[in-house]
Amino acid sequence: MKSSYILVVDDEPDIRETVKEILEDEGYLVATAKNADEARHHFREHLPDAVLLDIWMPDTDGITLLKEWSEMSGGKLPSPVVMMSGHGTVETAVEATRLGAYDFLEKPLGIAKLLLTLERALQSSRLQLQANDSLHAAPFIEPTGSSQAITRLREQVKRIAQHDSWVLMSGEAGSGRETFARYIHANCTRAERPFVHVAVSSIEAGNAALELFGREEGQKIDYGRLEQARGGTLFLDEVADMDADVQKRLVGALDTGSFLRVGGSEPVHLDVRIIAATQKNLEDEVNEGRFREDLFFQLNVVPVVIPPLREHEDDVIELLNFYVDHYSSRERLPYRRFDTAAQNYLRQYQWPGNVRELKNLVQRLLIVGGDEEIEVSEVESAIGILSSSGQSAGISISFDQPLREAREDFERAYFIYQMGKHDRNVTQMAEEAGIERTHLYRKLKSLDIDVKAKRK
């Protein structure tokens, strides 16, 4: 397990050293500061996982420093803070809590209570990071499949996980690159630390440097993804889409082990494992001058190739069963099973969208509901075979019908997909669709979609 980094701020040297020794004996990495200036320096140089902060100090008191940290991070403390005081008051404790302090310890400090409070503060912070991560990613799922290709790949990445090297994953969209990245993270020494996903291609133009490295404006600090992932794993998805300036900054950070925030002047320690992923051939991108050669060699320490689903079709049935059980148990969708003809059809299907397409297909068929057994005709309709070319459109639409009916079919497929994506949260669905909630309810009703039918 990667050790947590703790900052102890107290003007009394005996207390600083005693607490430092206690925490180091417990396996923590510890830095100390005797006053507010030293604490500010540590905070800027290496964001701690937690802070033990004395209230009464000669230059700047702990409450003022707590308020400063809260304001510089946009009103929310970037790390959990436990206050310490030998003569605190109820008013002081209330003020510290209002400013975001996790807890308040009275001196003299009891070792057992100190360690328990610190561990709870760290656990609370980890849970918050996991909650933030779950807003844009599914919970960890172990790569599914018993084929020789997937068994060998699973064993390979498990071995890779034991070493703290950078990894470059290549593979088609939807093939499971993030799943294997999370598998590496779950099996490495950083497993208890954050896994931060960055979809490079979705970052607004010109904002990539701010997103990754953060920003300083006066006393205010916006912590970027590199610091949010401190001690853990940063997953750079579609890294080939990273712009040239950010590529240059990242090369410097990987070379030196530190980086500057945008607008900053003090180097920030880099403590993160990077897993990069792309569906493009990075060597071709290098040859075409779109990707830096030095960054390619830095990221490509351990190359991992994720095969498309059509190259391990023996796993299709296992994946179908896995996702049926997954959605039935986790989202309480009705249990349905694929009959033999449907299974044979899907084994021979080419899966242009890979495992993601299979997962979405299962979810769609369970949401729509029907008989317990899923027949091949329903599968064909759900996949959306184009009668004109015999290729998959990925949604259930026939083009041999009037425009009004085709539009309704598309809207039905679109909102069924959005229901699955947002766990039937109407507010989130309305925001993504760009329509008002009341209009969305009317639209769902007109399409005969029951947004409340999930729970029983």
Q: Which is nearest to 29 in space by CA: 7, 10, 13, 52? A: 7
For the record, the structure tokens of 218 come out as: 């006066």
Query: For residues 170 and 277, is the Cβ–Cβ distance under 8 A?
Result: yes
Query: pLDDT tens for residues 276-289?
Result: 999 999 999 999 99
Q: Are both 5-134 and 148-307 of the same fold?
A: yes
Give the C-alpha separation, 351 to 310, whole Å.
6
Question: Is the confidence at residue 37, as pLDDT, over 50?
Answer: yes
CATH fold for domain 148-307: Rossmann fold (3.40.50)
Q: Look up residue 238 and give its DSSP letter.
A: T
| Reported confidence tier of residue 1, pLDDT bands at 50, 70, 90 | low
Selecting from 3.30.70.141, 3.40.50.720, 3.40.50.800, 3.40.50.2300, what CATH number does the domain 5-134 have? 3.40.50.2300
Question: Is the confidence at residue 387, as pLDDT, over 70?
Answer: no
**What is the reported pLDDT for 152?**
96
pTM: 0.70
Query: pLDDT tens for residues 146-197?
Result: 999 999 999 999 999 999 999 999 999 889 999 999 999 999 999 888 899 9
Ranges of each domain in the chain: 5-134, 148-307, 310-446
Percent of the chain past pLDDT 70, that is, above it, reads 89
CATH fold for domain 310-446: Helicase, Ruva Protein; domain 3 (1.10.8)
- Which residue is associated with the tokens 């996949």? 383
